[in-house]
Chain A
Amino acid sequence: MRPKSENQNLSTTSSSSISDAPSSTSIDPIFLILRILPFSFLRPPRLRLKIPTFTLPSPMTVYALVLLTYFMVVSGIVYDVIVEPPGIGSTQDRVTGSVRPVVFLPGRVNGQYIIEGLSSGFMFVMGGIGIVLMDLALDRNRAKSVKLSYASAGITSVVIAYMMSMLFIRIKIPAYLR
């Protein structure tokens, strides 16, 4: 820490000198007025402010953001914004007259309700993350129990995601694969 404190001393001395130097040579009228009016009796605190530097985020941070936008796009968020379908559909039972919810918009391939889109998008992302977990499980520099849990979580994610996606598409399009 010593070099830093030295720098601080140097910076305080130099800052005082620097603060004196431009004030004596400045031709900015507003600066001169400010120097007289509040700051002749108010003492500004010594702050160490830096111009914020722009550092690039790490690749994995960017990957997390990308995954989030992928989830939104694949859930059909543009369709939701433009066509404005209801969150969940409803149908009236002919016999009893009660209103039952319908999750999947029937009849068309290019149509959806909001919740149906979001749940399918979640399944896709879960499948992707499952494969990523399986790759993480093969990394050497982890404890064995962690690797085992990553591998099992990855495999179950992929299996569940695939089965649910198949189920969803079969509900939506009854004639699928027949």
Chain B
Amino acid sequence: MVGKVEPVNGNVKSGSNQSTPAATQAATLKSDLLNSLSLKSLKLKTKQQELLIRVSILCLVYVLAFMTRLFSVLRYESMIHEFDPYFNYRTTLFLTQKGFYEFWNWFDYESWYPLGRIVGGTLYPGLMVTAAIIYWVLRFLRFAVHIREVCVLTAPFFASNTTLVAYFFGKEIWDSGAGLVAAALIAICPGYISRSVAGSYDNEGVAIFALLLTFYLFVKAVNTGSLAWALASAFGYFYMVSAWGGYVFIINLIPLYVLVLLITGRYSMRLYVAYNCMYVVGMLLAMQIRFVGFQHVQSGEHMAAMGVFFLMQVFYFLDWVKHLLSDTKLFQAFLRITVTCAVGVGAIALGVGTASGYISPWTGRFYSLLDPTYAKDHIPIIASVSEHQPTAWSSFMFDFHILLFLFPAGLYFCFKRLTDATIFIVMYGLTSMYFAGVMVRLILVATPAVCLISAIAVSATIKNLTLLVRAKNKAVSSGSSRGTSSAKGSSKGLIDHSQPFQRNGAIVLLLGAFYLLSKYATHCTWVTSEAYSSPSIVLSARGAHGNRIIFDDYREAYFWLRQNTPPDAKVMSWWDYGYQITAMGNRTVIVDNNTWNNTHIATVGRAMSSYEDEAFEIMRSLDVDYVLVVFGGVTGYSSDDINKFLWMVRIGGGVFPVIKEPDYLVNGEYRVDKGAAPKMLNCLMYKLSYYRFGELTTEYGKPPGYDRARGVEIGNKDIKLEYLEEAFTTSNWIVRIYKVKPPNNRFCNGDCHGCRILVPCFWMMKWLKILRSSFSFRMKYFLE
């Protein structure tokens, strides 16, 4: 810049010596310089200015979506949260260490002892392969990252990518303004953040990106009718199938959408090309995933897509015949016959397939979405998961805030301007909102649709208001413009008089809209910080003086297991903790979160709810060495095993009728104090949780043995363990580990006081043992 200044000074110097024309020339040169420093003289046309604004907004939104998910990494450390992500982390570790073929053919003998688990065929590999590819790319670029860091930050990275896809999708449905608003809304929406926060290394993190990408590519294919976009959407579908079991939603929503288009008379060649290509190629690609297998032709959940595929062929055929025939009456008769035949043949084929068993019926997980009462009565495992509960209004409000108002308004705008694309987003929004109402976890699937539709409402409303604000010059020419038809169907907003009042009103409304959006941003950040950034494995509470206390008991217990038990030790616990024990404790478990074998879980549930001697027989038959229970009585932690105990009883009782739930309840009430049922006070879970707890004073002013999570004093304080011994209790008593004692070497219990009467004692003990085992001979069943 210095070089530039000097000649000006020189000119000014020389100019001041000369007459006024030179002075004005100098002044113009100075103003040119000033202009060249400002943005305007970069000589950007309006289009380029708009492009610059759009790109900068998208970059800011990208960074924002990543940053807002980093709360737990900053507060605690970079670690994996929850339960399921630990299994995903363990498999990704295996993949990076051993390679893809070992991973694809892996049989894991360290979980579900003694059954084992075919990992290669029972998981969705998309997430692991994605993280492994990112890891290998970074390694190739010589960034020496650990695979754990990649796993922790995969979900925020894909959330940022989702915002980009949302922008393009919004541009496809409405216009680029709506796309920008959609990207901004989805970047911070708590419904999405809850499952894609840093550390939540779970399938949904990449699956939502794949879902939105597939939908965007399909709508683009329907709009353009091009084969390339349809093929791209098939590959997007393949990525979704590899990532998450929720791909069933795509393979049912897209045929439903095609059906609605056919009913509303929007059949076209574009739709034909798009759907056929996507269905056939997508189905073939989906069969490459071993876990999915041949379900696309065998399972009842995928039959809708096949039915619509054949219906499309019928439509094409009819169109061709109509093109050939010139006689309409003949064509009407032909139409009636063909449609009847096609529907009849389809129904017969479906009936034969279902009756012969080739087409399997809807599985329990998805059937309970259509009939929500089914799981409660028939499948207690599905009903017991807290994420599968139906949704109350406050969960909606928490996860959506303002979007709940904007959603119906956006639907109105979509219905006003019906195109192929808006029909799709309306259907996606309605079906996903219904499913979100059935199950809390599915609010995640509804979030992109709600954000897109709300973005349409915001964009349309703000466009109307800004048109009002900018309408100041058009009042004069309103007479002439009335003759010309304006862009949108109903010409908007030009009232003859009260012009400034209307303009002020519009400005006030604009400020109101911005106020609402800023409250949305505040709410989203607060919810993210308070509710969704806790890594369930580390608990925190506020101390007496407002300071934050951290309970790291889980990891303490798992590392104790890792370092103080023999490498081939088997640990029995409730299935919630299985993945964490295998990943961090590196020990074999009996059951884990995969919950694929209900009988095995029921066996564990039966062991936990039986008396100690019966439970010992079960544990001996399963080769259990250690038992792990979670207890929240000292800290007031409410998600412990005593609160989950009734589910153990229900699941165990579902397979072994000897366990009856009313035995553990008193007048239908679940209690642990003096008035509790006697079976409850003596079952294994109670003994293991409250062993030595009767001597502990937990709260000032309360008697010893006061359970802070239930708020009562426990009933049975004097607990003696016969077959187990305490191995480890964490510092806040949250996790307690017990060692199963080996059976006695001799038949005697060892307290015969010198045992002078050996032979008759021997026979008496033997008969007592036979009597006891004859009462519990049914235990042999679980060996099969």
Contacts and interface: CB of A to CB of B under 8 A. Distances in A.
Contacts of A168: 397
B203 to A, nearest CB: 22
A74 B396 contact: yes
A98 interface: no
Interface string B508-552: 010000001000001100100011000000000000000000000
B263 interface: yes
B709 to A, nearest CB: 14
B405 interface: yes
Contact of B490 (A140, A161, A169): A140
B460 A135 contact: yes
B408 A129 contact: yes
B393 A74 contact: yes
A169 B394 CA distance: 7
Majority secondary structure, B binding face: helix
Interface in A66-90: 66-67, 69-70, 73-79, 81-83
Majority secondary structure, A binding face: helix
Kindly state the interface size class of chain A when it binds its partner.
Answer: 35 or more
A111 to B, nearest CB: 6
Contacts of B426: 66
Contacts of A173: 394
A59 B491 contact: no
Interface in B496-514: 505, 509
A109 B394 contact: yes
A125 interface: yes
A138 B393 contact: no
Interface residues of B, number: 56
A106 to B, nearest CB: 11
B493 interface: yes
B406 A78 contact: no
Contacts of B522: 177
B393 A120 contact: yes
A161 B405 contact: yes
Interface string A55-73: 0100110110011011001
B461 to A, nearest CB: 6
Interface string A98-133: 000000000001111000110011001101111110
A12 interface: no
A65 to B, nearest CB: 10
A153 to B, nearest CB: 14
B397 A165 contact: yes
Contact of A76 (B393, B415, B461, B494): B393
Interface string B455-498: 00100110010001000000000000000000000111111000
Contact of B494 (A62, A111, A140): A140
A139 interface: yes
B438 A138 contact: no
B546 to A, nearest CB: 13
B430 interface: yes
Nearest to A60: B415
14 contacts: A63-B411, A69-B434, A109-B531, A112-B392, A120-B394, A131-B405, A131-B408, A131-B457, A140-B492, A155-B509, A161-B405, A162-B402, A162-B405, A169-B394
Interface of B: 263-265, 372-373, 376, 389-398, 402, 404-409, 411-413, 415-416, 418, 426, 430, 433-434, 436-438, 440, 457, 460-461, 464, 468, 490-495, 505, 509, 516, 522-523, 526, 530-531
